[in-house]
Amino acid sequence: MKLLIWSCFLVLSLLWTGMAVVAVNVSDWALGLLGSGAPLGDQVAALNLPAWVGLWVQPEWIAAIQATMTGVFSMIQPWLPSTDTLGTVVSALVWLSWGLGVLVLFALAAGGHWFLARRWGLKPRA
C-alpha cells in the first residue's frame, strides 16, 4: 500500500512538473509575441487555430473572441511593462507554485505513509 502511495506521488509530481514546463514555455511564447513590436491586435487577428477547434467551438464565437481580444490588446499594449522583466516574474511565479504544489503532494504522501504505519502497524522491511 505504501508503494502505491509513493507511486501516486511520483506520477502526480511528474504531471505537475510537465504542466509547469508547459506553462513557462507558453508564457515565453506569449511574451515573445509582446516583445516583437508588432501591434498585439494584429497578431491576435492573424492567429490560425487548429482545425479541431472548429469541431468544439462555433466559428462565429472564435471570430467574436478574436475581435474582442484585438480591441483589448490594442488598448493595453502601451501600458505593458518590459517583456524581459515580465518573463522573469512569470517564470518565477510558475516555479514557485510548482514547488508549493510538490510540497503539498509530498506532505499528502508522507501523511498517508504515516497513517498506514500507525493504523495497521505495517513495519518497514529490514
Select, from the ranges 28-37, 38-47, 90-99, 113-122, the one with the highest average predicted confidence (pLDDT).
Answer: 90-99
Q: Is residue 61 part of a domain?
A: no
Alpha helices, H only, 59-82? 59-76
Q: Is residue 5 part of a domain?
A: no
Q: Is residue 12 part of a domain?
A: no
Q: Is residue 60 part of a domain?
A: no
Note the pLDDT of residue 19. Answer: 95
Pairwise CA distance, residues 81 & 86, whole Å:
7
Q: Is residue 108 part of a domain?
A: yes
Report pLDDT digits (tens) over 44-92: 666 676 777 777 878 788 788 878 877 777 777 776 666 667 788 889 9
Q: Report the domain count for the chain.
A: 1
Note the pLDDT of residue 81. Answer: 65
Q: Is residue 25 part of a domain?
A: no
Q: Is 35 exposed, middle or buried (0-12, 13-18, 19+ CB in 10 A)?
A: middle
Domain containing residue 117: 95-121
Note the pLDDT of residue 91. Answer: 92
Note the pLDDT of residue 104. Answer: 97
pLDDT tops 60 at residue 126: no
Q: Is residue 55 part of a domain?
A: no
Nearest CA to 43 among 25, 23, 65, 69? 69
Q: Is residue 106 part of a domain?
A: yes
Note the pLDDT of residue 119. Answer: 80
For residue 22 the three cell numbers come to 508547459
